[in-house]
Amino acid sequence: DTEVTQTPKHLVMGMTNKKSLKCEQHMGHRAMYWYKQKAKKPPELMFVYSYEKLSINESVPSRFSPECPNSSLLNLHLHALQPEDSALYLCASSQATGVQPQHFGDGTRLSIL
């Protein structure tokens, strides 16, 4: 069982839709992350939140908009996505930034039609 919960597990959306991915952790971790993973590739970092503030944006297109409403929740708002954005989106958390193990959720498998 994973301690980082992501919803939904699967999402199919059209290029004009707006949807959101959600992530929740109750381990008291103060750093949260969004990753994108394509098939047979390693996870690629998208965003880092530290103490609910955005600390890293890896030059992600603005059609992806992260939000951290509180220390337990992390959202990723999606709008006008492209077919190449189809991937597994993973949320992770760690006690803090720095040299810490990261705990991953099961991910949301996103397909853009």
Partner 1 sequence: GQQVMQIPQYQHVQEGEDFTTYCNSSTTLSNIQWYKQRPGGHPVFLIQLVKSGEVKKQKRLTFQFGEAKKNSSLHITATQTTDVGTYFCAVSASGNTGKLIFGQGTTLQVKP
Closest distance between partner 1 and the C-beta of residue 49, in Å?
9
- Which lies closer to partner 1 via its Cβ, residue 42 or residue 83? 42
Q: Is 105 in the site for partner 1 (CB under 8 A)?
A: yes
CA distance 111 to 74: 20
Which CA distances in Å does 86 have to 34, 71, 83, 92, 107?
Answer: 15, 28, 6, 19, 13
Within residues 43-102, the interface with partner 1 by CB under 8 A covers 43, 45, 48, 50, 55-56, 90, 92, 94, 96-102
Residue 17 gets which letter from DSSP? -
Q: How far is the CB of 72 from partner 1 (least distance, A)?
A: 17
When binding is defined by CB under 8 A, the residue of 28, 42, 70, 84 that contacts partner 1 is 42
101's CB contacts (< 8 A; 6+ apart) are 94
Measured in degrees and rounded to the nearest 5, phi and psi for residue 85 equal -80, -5
Name the minimum Å distance from CB 113 to partner 1. 22
Residue matched to tokens 């004009």: 16
Catalog residues that contact partner 1 under the rule CB under 8 A.
2, 31, 33, 40-43, 45, 48, 50, 55-56, 90, 92, 94, 96-107
